[in-house]
Copies of this chain bind each other. A is one copy, B any other.
Amino acid sequence: MRILVVEDEPQIASGISAALAASGYQPRIAADGEEAWFLGDTEDFDLVVLDLGLPKMDGLAVLKRWRTAGRQMPVLILTARGAWPERVEGIDAGADDYLAKPFQIEELMARVRALIRRAAGHASPVIESGPISIDTRQMRVLVNGTNVAISPLEYRLVAYLLHHKGRVVSPGELIEHLYGDDDARDANALEAVVTRLRKKLGADVIQTRRGFGYMVAGAPE
């Protein structure tokens, strides 16, 4: 199992690297964005641990370039604490998980194991429910197999509901995940997005559970 550790702080990088090695993985360190991009594009890794604040090229940019180039290895993002916009962007850009700094090395290892296990299984980048499906890598939404133009905010909303399909998601939870908690939004904004989405996806994809929240049908992921 080869793991690429992208981290410019040498101490942290070697700490992570040592822990990975101790668990039997083969870690490889990249200290800046360009090196990371080059390694990730030319070599084969089972997982990438990616810090966002990097010299030469930002972590998110690296990730996006990998994804547009078709690289599909799971990516675990390290973010500064409270940097919500970064996280949301990271997920949009195709990250599979994120972890806030500072973190326990044990926790990092647990997530690494989880991601690798998931990737080994059938972690498809496509999630479906009834007539609609989303491709989380390409950030596309298909209705009955045909592509539908969708805005970023709308995409995040469907994606979140699909990731949690079969469960009622409260408006508060949705707002927090769409915007981050720093910015207080009217619940009506959410309703407006839902209305617009329903016009594009069909009226019955997103169900309303009055008094509880929204739900997309399907067996939980």
Interface set of A (CB-CB < 8 Å, partner B): 15, 18-19, 21-24, 81-82, 100, 102-107, 109, 137-139, 151-153, 155, 166-168, 170-173, 176-177, 181, 209-212, 215, 220
Contacts and interface: CB of A to CB of B under 8 A. Distances in A.
A45 B23 CA distance: 39
Contact of A220 (B100, B137, B210, B212): B137
A107 to B, nearest CB: 8
Contacts of A102: 81-82, 100
B209 A139 contact: yes
Given A23-B172, A100-B102, A172-B23, A212 B152 contact: yes
8 contacts: A19-B172, A19-B173, A81-B104, A100-B102, A106-B177, A109-B173, A137-B220, A138-B215
B106 A172 contact: no
Contacts of A210: 151-152
Contacts of A105: 176, 181
Contact of A22 (B15, B109, B152, B173): B173
Given A102-B100, A104-B82, A24 B137 contact: no
A57 to B, nearest CB: 27
A10 B135 CA distance: 41
Nearest to A107: B100
Contact of A172 (B18, B139, B177, B215): B18
Given A81-B104, A82-B104, A137 B168 contact: yes
Contacts of A15: 181
A172 B22 contact: yes
Contacts of A209: 138-139
A152 B211 contact: yes
Contacts of A211: 151-153, 155
